[in-house]
């Protein structure tokens, strides 16, 4: 299997050029100290597969469009919708739809790690149901302390794979905390969440998955500082309030 874009090499090189600390991109995330989601409670959750192998999360934002992290880009993949486990044959009503077009944000990685989002157009529209539903994207930026939910199928803290979709509640961190932790690479396209004493976090394998605040899509899992789930070390998410115009314009133009 060809993995999703792996920024470890160039990011570590960037660190060696003068950045202190030990940061690392989520090359694919896992949920830390979460729990099984209620089945189909996140009907907008998408799974990206490459040759039947799951590698990133995504979010259905329109019947024919999925948002994910730009670093999850592949030339072709299949999108799973309506899944609780990652086995479509165990999920009546789930859909597996081929991706027809992937559009990374034009400013992705300019500067390094910024603007980490892409839109994926499905070859056919999803059939919406109780288990498959698109979610609206926020128009307002988050407030520190907002309670949000992040979900994904990435590896667990134990190192094993989850049987079903995992959920965890985390709080939005202030911009000051985010800048202090990720200063050399912090960009306004990012927001931080998590970092509490409860060690709840997203991590490797959750990339591209949703951060939902107050019922709307606030962010996408992007990167963090390993090991995941450290107190006072929040994870980084793409701050979607900064991209509502680009998302709408891209969908309408394509």
- Cβ(29)–Cβ(209) under 8 Å? yes
Q: Which of 71, 84, 105, 204 is catalytic?
A: 71
Residue 237: phi, psi to the nearest 5?
-130, 150
Tell me how far apart the alpha carbons of residues 49 and 29 are, in angstroms, rounded to a whole number: 15
The first and second tokens of residue 85, run together, are: 């486990």
Q: Active-site residue 116, yes or no?
A: yes
For residue 13, how many other CB atoms are within 10 A of its CB?
9
Q: Which residues contact 181 (CB under 8 A, 6 or more apart)?
A: 192, 195, 225, 233, 234
Q: Catalytic residue among 62, 68, 102, 116, which?
A: 116
How many other C-beta atoms lie within 10 A of the C-beta of residue 136? 11
Q: Which of 151, 171, 189, 207 is catalytic?
A: 207
Q: Known catalytic residues?
A: 71, 116, 207
């Amino acid at each position: 299997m060809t993995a999703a874009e792996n920024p470890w090499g160039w990011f570590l090189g960037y660190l060696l050029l003068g950045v202190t600390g030990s940061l690392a991109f989520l090359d694919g995330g896992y949920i830390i100290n979460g729990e099984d989601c209620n089945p189909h409670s996140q009907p907008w959750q998408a799974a990206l597969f490459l040759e039947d192998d799951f590698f990133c999360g995504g979010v259905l934002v329109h019947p024919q469009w999925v948002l994910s992290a730009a670093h999850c880009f592949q030339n072709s993949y299949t999108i799973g919708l309506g899944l609780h486990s990652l086995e479509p044959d165990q999920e009546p009503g789930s859909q597996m739809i081929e991706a027809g077009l992937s559009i990374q944000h034009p400013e992705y990685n300019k500067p390094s790690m910024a603007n980490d989002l892409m839109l994926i157009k499905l070859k056919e529209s999803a059939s919406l149901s109780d288990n498959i539903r698109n979610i609206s994207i926020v128009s307002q930026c988050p407030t520190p302390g907002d309670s949000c939910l992040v979900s994904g199928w990435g590896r667990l803290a134990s190192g094993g794979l989850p049987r079903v979709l995992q959920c965890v509640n985390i709080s939005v961190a202030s911009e000051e905390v985010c800048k202090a932790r990720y200063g050399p690479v912090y960009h306004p396209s990012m927001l931080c969440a998590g970092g509490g004493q409860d060690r709840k976090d997203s991590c490797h394998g959750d990339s591209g998955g949703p951060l939902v605040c107050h019922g709307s899509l606030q962010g996408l899992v992007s990167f963090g500082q390993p090991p995941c789930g450290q107190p006072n070390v929040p994870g980084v998410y793409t701050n979607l309030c900064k991209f509502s115009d680009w998302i709408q314009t891209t969908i309408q133009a394509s």
